[in-house]
Amino acid sequence: MALVSAKDMIDKAHAGHYAIPAFNTNNLEWTKAILLGIEAQKSPAIIQVSEGATKYMGGYKAVADLVNDLYNSLGITVPVALHLDHGTFEGAKKCLEAGFTSVMFDGSHFDFEENKEKSKEIIELAHSKGASVECEVGGIGGTEDGVTSSGELANPAECKEISDLGVDFLAAGIGNIHGPYPENWAGLNFERLDEIDKAVNGKPLVLHGGSGIPFDQVHKAVTLGVSKVNINTELQLEFTAAVRKYFEAKKDLEGKGYDPRKVLKPGVDAIQAKVEELCKAFGSANQA
């Protein structure tokens, strides 16, 4: 088996009204924990990296090889796509060369015409290599790899134009909770999501920043066309809390507690547990 494009799994999820979880990875431990978690839950899933994380991990090729090799050596049977999260134009091209099976081109900070033009080029290139593509319209809010956009909502007409380029799934701004304390505690603007869903005529949508969004809201978003939910921060918090406890309990001072494999284990176990919980919550468990 090999890594696959994300298109089929997301189309299936869209038809079956569940969401594919897209977990951001940072290193070998993260990748292993995610793969073992989704295999245990028999869930199709996307493993994604930001460009910052690819730098950390040593480059696009290093990431592609790591995920590919682990997929095979761990005997994973569920479909897995390797996706670039919030890619630049150049980054997306390099990932496609390095063997990523899916890329996001985030041109939301360009003016719309430029975003459209560049999105079109990446879509053509990716499809020629059998890879899937995600594009973004409008600011989702917050800082994405150094690019800050206000939490504005995406314009449904623009969503339709990008959708019509043949993009496989679309990220569109439907949340505006940015700021010290969210004004809109619902977090997501379901009316706008509904408008976008109608405008793009059934194109699968992506919910960014899925960490912490209550499950009932995720479910509601799924009924309105969301088929991919991104999870990053939540896994990081789980990992760090678990490792912190290890040190606070002074386990590093017991026996061979200083062994990095022992230090990281509670964190890795916590990631896997969270991955499994999310697969169940998003309905992707047992869909592989």
Partner 1 sequence: MNNDNEYEDIEFIDLDDDVNTSNPAPMAGDVNELSQLNEDPSDSLEVSNEEPISEVFSEEPSTLETPEDLPDLENAKDTSHHSSGSSSTKKHGKKHLSKAERRRRRRRKKLIRFCVFVAALILFLVSGGILLHAFIGYQKADKIYNDVSKSIFGDETAMVSVKGTGTNSSNSTTTSESEEVKLYTSYDHTALLAQNSDAVGYLQIPAIDVLLPVVQGDDNSYYLNHAFNGASSSNGTLFVDYRQPDGVESQNCIIYGHDMRNGSMFGALNKFVDSNFVSTGQNRYFYFYVNDKIYKYEIYAVHQTPAIGYTYTASFNTANEFLTYVSEMSRQSYYSSNVKFTGTEKTMTFSTCTNDDDIRLVVQGVRVAELDIATIAKEQGE
User: Which residues are known to be catalytic?
Assistant: 85
Q: Does 181 participate in binding partner 1 (rule CB under 8 A)?
A: yes
Binding test (CB under 8 A) with partner 1, winner from 241, 254, 258, 286? 241
Q: What string of H, E and C letters represents the secondary structure of 115-183?
A: HHHHHHHHHHHHHHCCCEEEEEECCCCEEECCEEECCCCCCHHHHHHHHCCCCCEEEECCECCCCCCCC
Q: Using CB under 8 A, pick the residue from 39, 134, 144, 276 that binds partner 1.
A: 144
219 near partner 1, rule: CB under 8 A: no
Q: Which of these ranges, 2-10, 66-74, 139-147, 154-162, lies near partner 1 under the rule CB under 8 A?
A: 139-147
Verify binding: residue 269, partner 1, rule CB under 8 A. Answer: no
- Quick check: 159 and 190 in contact, CB under 8 A? no
Are 101 and 131 in contact by the 8 Å Cβ rule? The answer is yes
Pick from 4, 8, 10: nearest CA to 222: 10
Q: Does 178 help bind partner 1 (rule: CB under 8 A)? A: yes
104 binds partner 1 (CB under 8 A): no
Q: Output the smallest distance, CB 4 to partner 1, in A.
A: 23
Q: How far apart are CA 34 and CA 47, in angstroms?
A: 8
Number of residues forming the site for partner 1 (CB under 8 A): 49
Pick between residue 73 and residue 148 the one whose CB is nearest to partner 1. 148
Q: How far is the CB of 146 from partner 1 (least distance, A)?
A: 3
**Residue 144 CA: distances (Å) to CA of 89, 121, 136, 207:** 15, 22, 12, 14
Question: Is residue 245 near partner 1 by the rule CB under 8 A?
Answer: yes
Residue 75 touching partner 1 (CB under 8 A)? no
> Do 152 and 187 meet the contact criterion of CB atoms below 8 Å apart?
no
Return contacts of 210-213, CB within 8 angstroms, 24+ apart. Answer: 210/21, 210/234, 211/235, 211/237, 213/187, 213/188
Closest CA to 117 of 170, 165, 166, 172: 165
> Which one of 5-13, 34-42, 158-166, 185-193 is the stretch in contact with partner 1 (CB under 8 A)?
185-193
Stretch that binds partner 1, among 61-69, 116-124, 230-238, 256-264 (CB under 8 A): 230-238
- Compute the least distance from the CB of residue 2 to partner 1, in Å: 26
Shortest CB 65 distance to partner 1, Å? 20
HSE, side-chain direction, 13 A CA sphere, residue 47 = 31
User: How far apart are alpha carbons 39 and 203 in whole angstroms?
Assistant: 27
Binding residues for partner 1, per CB under 8 A?
24, 26, 50-53, 55-56, 85-86, 140-146, 151, 175, 177-183, 185, 187-188, 208-214, 230-234, 236-238, 240-241, 244-245, 248
